[in-house]
Amino acid sequence: MKLVAAFVRRDFRLERSYRLALITSFAGIFSTLLSAGFLSRLVPGDTEALRPFGGDYFTFALVGTAALSYFSVALGSFAGSLSQEQQMGTMEALLVTPIDPKLLLVCGAAWPFCFATFQLVIYIALGALLFHAEVAVANLAIAGGMLLLTMAAFSAVGLAAAGLIMVVKRTGALLGFVGSAFGLLGGVLYPISVLPRPLQLLAQALPMSHGLEGVRLALVPDPDLSAIGRDALALALFTAVLVPLAFWGFEWSVRRCRRTGSLGHY
Amino acid sequence: MAASPPETPQDAGLPAVEAVGLVKQFIVRGFVAWRPKGVVDALRGLDLSVANDTVHGVMGPNGSGKSTLLRILATLVTADRGRAAVGGCDVEREGGAVRRLIGFSTGDERSLYWRLTARQNLEFAAALHKLSDPASSIETTLSLVNLGDHADRPVSGFSQGMARRLGLARALLHRPMILLLDEPTRSLDPVSRSEFHQVIRRLRDDAGVTTLLTSHDLDEAAAVCDRVSVLRAGQIVDDVQRVNKRALAKAIGTL
């Protein structure tokens, strides 16, 4: 835990030194909230597709966009923190310490996760306070659990991207494509039941759709616990299979970079 | 009664650093990964032995393999063939143990967090080395490299010399037995360079730290090294044991 705290402290200090970036990242929350608010004026609320999620479109879109930005952190933060070390020239200095590179990878993503959690809380709180999003506070613990499970499943993809960035050095475009594909198929702005059948099947194979569905179902009064349980099981399976594979891939990448002498390259 | 295992290479009669038959090639990749543009022979069967409690220099022209050698010893690069040990630990099989024994400085100021202060940089390094009393280690190390008065200044405001000294402080923070320094005084002014040499000598004399450093500078090697190996095209071509500027110039072919 001391090591995680050291990474969080370092990254908070670095983040704080870029004041404008810090301020604008908060300003982005308001623009997203407003977009969801205006969009909800156009979309009729009580449609059949929205009914399992409480029927309110603003709440549906708010939870979707807030969770997507949260999951994007899981997708991009591991590779992002490595890329930052490579570009700052500090990668070799990290790797000559006795800490296992896998641990360095996980600790490097600690601050982005903390910051994203803080942003998520602000999203939901402001959505509820200013725009009257209908969030069942009693079920926040279940929603939080689903969120954590989804993060774990998403982290597997993020860890795989970190392994990739060690070797190919730039993964921004690839991660952008993966993120937009998750946005399209994961049910951020619409339930996946409105997608054509083949795309629905594809969506079921993504952790995103199970994560969002589980979080949304948990936030309505009288949640369908069996549906949430099915989503949780799917996410746990994703995590159990993908995370060890992703760590193995990362170890392979580090070994390959040691062979090619490109650990510190970017 | 069974003898207890030796704690240091000195106890075991081992050299601080030993390399035998090290070979390293780098492949220059083209656009298509499986059609390389060429191969660079960085090390071609290099043998090296560095005695304990000494300052050992490695000199040679650009591209002779000095940095590759240091990176292999620091476990950042894997050799294709041969073996190397640092403090008696094999760099391939016991990488973690090697990294606990060494302090490594690339001589590149970019390896520091420029937006943090000197103290904050060292606090982070102390956490990576799990130091039990980081505050006192940081104070002592900053004083050793004459940065005690600048501890709370951001590194972005440092001169190159100060940044180099902070890099050295980071390498020294966990009290390593062996220092690996890659061109540590490159582009330093004469005063900073002289201070740097004093620190290296003091570490050898007072703390028994073995230093392996690379350099292009004859004056530096003559001033600080007990022994110098001359490297050319990936092999040691000469070993100067009584280090003086004339002997070095002869060995590297500038005399």
Cβ contact, residue pair B170, A93, below 8 Å: yes
Report how far residue A153's alpha carbon sits from residue A160's, in angstroms, rounded to the nearest whole number.
11
Confidence of residue A64 (pLDDT cuts 50, 70, 90): confident
Cβ contact, residue pair A260, B113, below 8 Å: no
> Closest to B129 (Cβ–Cβ): which among A88, A97, A255?
A97
Tell me which residue of B174, B199, B173, B172 sits closest to B185, measured CA to CA: B199
Q: Where are the domains of chain B?
A: 52-78+89-252
Structure tokens at B225: 């090294």
CATH topology of domain B52-78+89-252: Rossmann fold (3.40.50)
Of residues A42 and B88, the one with the higher pLDDT is B88
Give Cα separations from B240 to B17, B65, B113 (angstroms).
Answer: 17, 18, 38
Work out the minimum CA distance from A147 to partner chain B, whole angstroms. 30
CB pairs under 8 A between A and B: 83
State pLDDT tens for residues B24-78. Answer: 999 887 777 677 778 889 899 999 999 999 999 999 988 899 999 999 999 999 9
Mapping DSSP to helix (H, G, I), strand (E, B) and coil, where does residue A5 land? Answer: helix
Structure tokens at A235: 């996410």
Q: Does B124 touch chain A (CB under 8 A)?
A: yes
Report how far residue A261's alpha carbon sits from residue B77's, in angstroms, rounded to the nearest whole number.
5
In percent, the amount of chain B with pLDDT more than 90 equals 60
Give the pLDDT confidence score for residue B56 in this predicted structure. Answer: 96
Work out the minimum CA distance from B167 to partner chain A, whole angstroms. 9
> Closest to A14 (Cβ–Cβ): which among B76, B106, B116?
B116
Residue A239 scores a pLDDT above 70: yes
Residue B6 scores a pLDDT above 50: no
Give the pLDDT confidence score for residue B2 in this predicted structure. Answer: 43
Q: Does B250 touch chain A (CB under 8 A)?
A: no
Q: Is residue A265 part of a domain?
A: no
Q: Is residue A256 part of a domain?
A: yes
State which residues form the domain around A232.
Answer: 2-260
Number of residues written out for chain A: 266
The dihedral of CA B41, B45, B51, B56: what is its sign?
A: negative
Report how many domains make up chain A: 1
**Full 3-state SS string of B33-97:** CCCCCEEEEEEEEEEEEECCCCEEEEECCCCCCHHHHHHHHCCCCCCCEEEEEECCEECCCCHHH
Which residues of A make CB contacts under 8 Å with B?
2-3, 5-6, 9-10, 13-14, 17-18, 88-90, 92-100, 255, 258-261, 263-264
> Closest to A98 (Cβ–Cβ): which among B74, B96, B110?
B96
Residue A53 scores a pLDDT above 90: no
Residues of B in contact with A18 (CB under 8 A): 115
Give the pLDDT confidence score for residue B217 in this predicted structure. Answer: 87
Candidate from A41-50, A196-205, B130-139, B157-166 with smallest mean pLDDT: A41-50
Report how far residue B213's alpha carbon sits from residue A231's, in angstroms, rounded to the nearest whole number.
58
> Closest to A261 (Cβ–Cβ): which among B77, B110, B129?
B77
Beta bridge partners of B48: B19
Give the pLDDT confidence score for residue B9 in this predicted structure. Answer: 59
**Nearest chain B residue to A168, by CA:** B33
> Looking up tokens 């940095």, which residue turns up?
B67
Rounded to two decimals, what is the model's pTM?
0.85
Mapping DSSP to helix (H, G, I), strand (E, B) and coil, where does residue A101 land? Answer: helix
Tell me which residue of B232, B241, B177 sits closest to B46, measured CA to CA: B232
Q: Taking residues A75-91, report their average pLDDT.
A: 87
Q: Where are the alpha helices (DSSP H) in A186-224?
A: 197-204, 207-218
Q: Is residue A266 part of a domain?
A: no
State pLDDT tens for residues B168-202. Answer: 999 999 999 999 999 988 877 888 888 889 889 99
> Looking up tokens 């979080």, which residue turns up?
A215
Give the pLDDT confidence score for residue A128 in this predicted structure. Answer: 84
Cβ contact, residue pair B130, A89, below 8 Å: no
> Looking up tokens 């004083």, which residue turns up?
B143
Give chain B's count of helices (H) and strands (E): 8, 10
Give the pLDDT confidence score for residue A27 in this predicted structure. Answer: 81
State pLDDT tens for residues B230-249. Answer: 999 999 998 888 777 788 88
Give the pLDDT confidence score for residue B84 in this predicted structure. Answer: 95
Q: Is residue A91 part of a domain?
A: yes
